[in-house]
Chain A
């Protein structure tokens, strides 16, 4: 599904990603861990198409298609979803109107009609229930005055509505208390299927107790320095990141 080959990217004169290789197949959950500044969030942004970063070498293929020339919205239309670490507040646009616009723009890009209003409403109710979201939430302005937990839950709600093939969750666990974490993780797990894949980016092992990864990768200084199975996450928790940093130097 996703193939990243020798990816180098950065801003202006600063190199951030220095040769990333990663392959994600349908049905898999990958966790990308690593200390602050290792390039995890940059990797997520580059996959989603953020123009601030320049890809200098390498390729990202999604279902065989090179993403290089695709705008962020086109990547979204193809089924890539990024859950933001810091979701943006947009006053004056309600959660409902926002998700309607996102869904119908995606349908339009795929040559489909707008989703009928009653079907939309049904879908919203269904996903709201899944994520234990109060109905009042939907008439509020997008992310405006939301708590950290509400913002993250709203991200996962949007993911549930858009049903992406590949979901990248960038630090979705930060700012969540344990109850919110459980609800969000439960939501993600219910959305998993044989056809879609999830990449979880996180600093801590905590979220991985709820979203069990098939593979764990450790990033350091713009590279994946270690890959393994879920046991690697536990080992990291125990030994700390200095351990991989030292190994990377060796």
Chain B
């Protein structure tokens, strides 16, 4: 049975495990119908031209993991940002691990979506926010919505800020021969609230994992949200990340995506600006090797005047890796004085690596500043010779130049520990000891 049929057939079993009287269940059922009609996206669709899910659909994924897969902290410590104190929402094979987590209800809610969906006190919040920003047409998002049960729930009330960042970690143990996960995160920052989140998916064995994740982020007036996605998974892991961000007036939201691993990664990152003086920041560093594939699809929809968006993606592609950047900017007719910037710069460091990059601008207002630029190139020979002539060997010199190339994306990372961790990952990924602390 192909994956689509298997998913649809398993929905009834899923229904037996959830409360069908919950209003959310109607949303699930609707979403399943959408998925049933549309099925998995295929390469004849313009948006999926360069990313094929064909192979994954032939894998016999388990859809409901076993309940009792434990992990010892010492075995997974390195995947946490252990150099600093954080709240932690940890899942093992899709199941919440209270042992590895550190949640809170002290003034802010940093906990589980399953709790938020079932407890009456959260019902008003769920009614206002759940599945409002997420697409109801997109088939992968609908598939996730249909099977919504678990994930992170973060609610920061007006004028509040948690005292430390939140880490959302998904581990897959490989206890199933192949496992499909569909986490669902709901993140709300009310007026003038602040929040920092680090999200990571990590598979621990070479057994295949497919994650189809949906995250909704709501930033109310004056709220500030910084979100960091660390994608450094094994060759056996594939990720389809669907993130929807709804911003109100004067809010600032940034999403940094660090893609250093995984077999296939698709990032659908969607920003909707619903207010004035909004700032949206989308940044990415992609460093790939082997036969890895990363596809960044971004959308920024400017729906109100006087807003800004800033996109800056750097990609370094080695061996047979492939990359895609497709950046869509829509500026509505009333969104005058929009300032939208988009840049995608790519280095091909192997003859067999490829990258496809495409800006897509739909501008209906006449008084806007929109600039975009895509480059695909190789390491600057003059710069390489300059460094070598100073005694820096070619390999280290290349790494230094690649680091310099990716570096300006890190400048906007506001958590020093995250910045340091990422620079270390970059150095490791480039396979060198740089003669100084980055």
Contacts and interface: CB of A to CB of B under 8 A. Distances in A.
Interface in A73-88: 73, 75-77, 81-82, 84, 86-88
Interface in A26-85: 45, 48-52, 71-73, 75-77, 81-82, 84
A103 to B, nearest CB: 8
B404 A93 contact: yes
* B393, B397, B405: most-surrounded residue (chain A CB, <10 A): B393
A101 B408 CA distance: 20
B436 interface: yes
B380 A162 contact: no
Contacts, number: 85
A88 B404 contact: no
A77 B390 CA distance: 8
Given A91-B408, A105-B435, A72 B396 contact: no
Most B CB contacts (10 A, CB to CB) among A76, A86, A114 go to A76
B407 A109 contact: no
B345 to A, nearest CB: 12
Contact of A105 (B380, B393, B401, B407): B393
A115 to B, nearest CB: 10
A158 B390 contact: yes
A102 interface: yes
Given A50-B385, A101-B392, A158-B390, A88 B407 contact: no
Interface residues of A, number: 35
Given A73-B394, A93-B404, A84 B386 contact: yes
A206 to B, nearest CB: 25
Nearest to B438: A97
Interface in B206-239: none
B391 interface: yes
Contacts of A101: 392, 396, 400, 434-436
B106 interface: no
Contacts of A105: 391-393, 396, 435
B381 interface: yes
B390 A88 contact: no
A101 B385 CA distance: 15
- Among B381, B390, B401, B434, chain A packs the most CB atoms within 10 A around the CB of B390
A104 interface: yes
Interface string B381-424: 11101111111111011001101110110000000000000000
Contacts of B390: 73, 76, 98, 102, 158, 162
Nearest to B401: A90
A88 B382 contact: yes
A172 interface: no
Interface string B352-383: 00000000000000000000000000001111
A111 interface: no
A152 interface: no
A3 to B, nearest CB: 20
B407 A91 contact: yes
Given A88-B382, A105-B393, A72 B388 contact: yes
A52 B382 CA distance: 10
Contacts of B403: 92-93
A99 to B, nearest CB: 8
A162 B387 CA distance: 13
B392 A87 contact: no
A106 interface: yes
B40 to A, nearest CB: 40
Q: Is the interface of B mostly helix, strand, loop or mixed?
A: helix
B435 A48 contact: no
A101 B397 CA distance: 10
B383 A102 contact: no
A45 B382 CA distance: 11
Contacts of B396: 101, 105
B393 A73 contact: yes
Contacts of A48: 385, 389
A88 B385 CA distance: 9
Contacts of B380: 88
Contacts of A93: 400, 403-404, 407
Contacts of B405: 92
Nearest to A96: B436
B389 A87 contact: no
Contacts of A73: 388-394, 397
A88 B387 CA distance: 9
A100 interface: yes
A204 B389 CA distance: 25
A142 B277 CA distance: 35
Given A100-B436, A101-B434, A90 B383 contact: yes
B316 to A, nearest CB: 14
Contacts of A100: 435-436
A82 B388 CA distance: 11
With a 10 A CB-CB cut-off, give which of A91, A102, A109 has the most chain B CB atoms: A102
A93 B387 CA distance: 12
Contacts of B435: 97, 100-101, 104-105, 114
B394 A87 contact: no
B389 A71 contact: no
B404 to A, nearest CB: 4
A51 B385 CA distance: 8
A87 B436 CA distance: 22
A66 B13 CA distance: 77
Interface of B: 380-383, 385-394, 396-397, 400-401, 403-405, 407-408, 434-436
17 contacts: A49-B388, A51-B385, A71-B393, A84-B386, A88-B382, A88-B386, A90-B383, A91-B404, A92-B407, A97-B435, A97-B436, A100-B435, A100-B436, A101-B400, A102-B387, A105-B393, A162-B391
Q: Which 4 residue pairs across A and B have the least CB separation, nearest first?
A: A92-B407, A101-B435, A72-B388, A76-B391
